[in-house]
Structure 1
């Protein structure tokens, strides 16, 4: 994945490379040792390993550091999380730091480069035959940044690739609980009050996803894809 997003990753490093290196990353006195930030501040941020960043990636903006430090480490955090390099924390936790840090209020160039990165990440995963992390994780990670997901769903509903069909089938069969009151998203990291959660539920429930599947039936000829579309359609139609 990194190779497919090399341009977007380089832009992250370029823009956030202007953020000065912190002199110290202060943490909760009861939770973070006085010198625990030392490995974080040794060498270039691009070279920080998963092992060095794991604790910070988990506790940033909660027990350790504030927004200035997050902005400094952000390119490496997003690069690793988008490729699911951490065994912990999960991508949802790392991407949620953007929402917690209110990134949509940052400088214009920072917002622009993050937005481009998120869009490209979605494009690479939604069309992938076997994305890792899975598409439900990607959707939740994007939603927890605080942005609306309608543009991402609009792109997905074109179902213009095998991967898009496979991922939609996977999502509606394993990522959604279909209740009489409407669909509920299963990923435990979701916060139901975020805009992205509401966007997905509405998309699944109001006929847009169903119409996309019906449109795909008109051009699809492969039996295995037609079978997946049929099962997807049955769930969406209720």
Structure 2
């Protein structure tokens, strides 16, 4: 089955809202009316992008979100948003009590997330997106070992190096570069620990002469 079709079918139980409420400073009534009345699969990225950026923070309810979610997630997977960060959307998924979704929905979202992540690891043009998507996914997955192990595979070396360079200041600051990690501090701690060992430590020693094992011993 086509992934997009599977996404819409899996969430088809949710009905269109009669009205979506939101902060008028964040989204207009006209935009909200389009989301509540237009056929879901026909809503364009431009029509739903503002909503996606503010969902469950200043716009809409969980019921609204669950109805609009397959469209938002489908467009996110296809990279059709111009300025909505994946961390924002995954943050909304967490607010929508992802841990309480039924197994079929959770398995689908986790499966699509993993597939997207693996695609980014393989693409040299999208290495910088690995950082963003790893952070995003960490909003809904407590165990991120799968993602770290895949980044350490030899064929994904460039992605690992790019991630390390982007977060090299964390060695001294104890904080990852992406500010969205503050929303999932437990996963941030896991990554900070991971960066002090294995492939990351080997890269830092070879490239910059930073001996993290020696630092840990002397500390």
Q: What TM-score range do you get, normalising by the shorter chain?
A: 0.7 to 0.9
Do 2:91 and 2:139's aligned partners in 1 also have CA atoms closer than 8 Å? yes
1:26 to 8, 16, 21: 21
1:190 to 172, 175, 181: 181
With structure 2 as the length reference, what TM-score do the two structures score? 0.82
Give, in angstroms, the shift of residue 89 of structure 1: 2.3
Q: Give per-residue Cα distances to partners, 1:39-80, cap 9 Å, x unaligned.
A: 113333222111100111111101111112111111221222
Give, in angstroms, the shift of residue 86 of structure 1: 2.1
Per the alignment, residue 200 of structure 1 pairs with 191
Alpha carbons of 1:175 and 1:51: their partners in 2 closer, same or farther (altered >3 Å)? same
Per the alignment, residue 175 of structure 1 pairs with 167
With structure 1 as the length reference, what TM-score do the two structures score? 0.76
Give, in angstroms, the shift of residue 234 of structure 1: 5.0
Bigger RCO (CA 8 Å, 6+ sep): 1
The question of 1:231 aligning with 2:207 is answered: yes
For residue 134 of structure 1, give the secondary structure of its aligned residue in structure 2: helix
Alpha-carbon distance in structure 2 between the residues aligned to 1:170 and 1:55: 30
Alpha carbons of 1:29 and 1:87: their partners in 2 closer, same or farther (altered >3 Å)? closer
Structure 2 stretches lacking a partner, 5+ long: none
Give, in angstroms, the shift of residue 32 of structure 1: 5.0
Structure 1 stretches lacking a partner, 5+ long: 1-5, 215-227
Give, in angstroms, the shift of residue 192 of structure 1: 5.7
Alpha-carbon distance in structure 2 between the residues aligned to 1:233 and 1:53: 48
Q: Give per-residue Cα distances to partners, 1:177-212, cap 9 Å, x unaligned.
A: 14446x43101222164332222112112x23347x
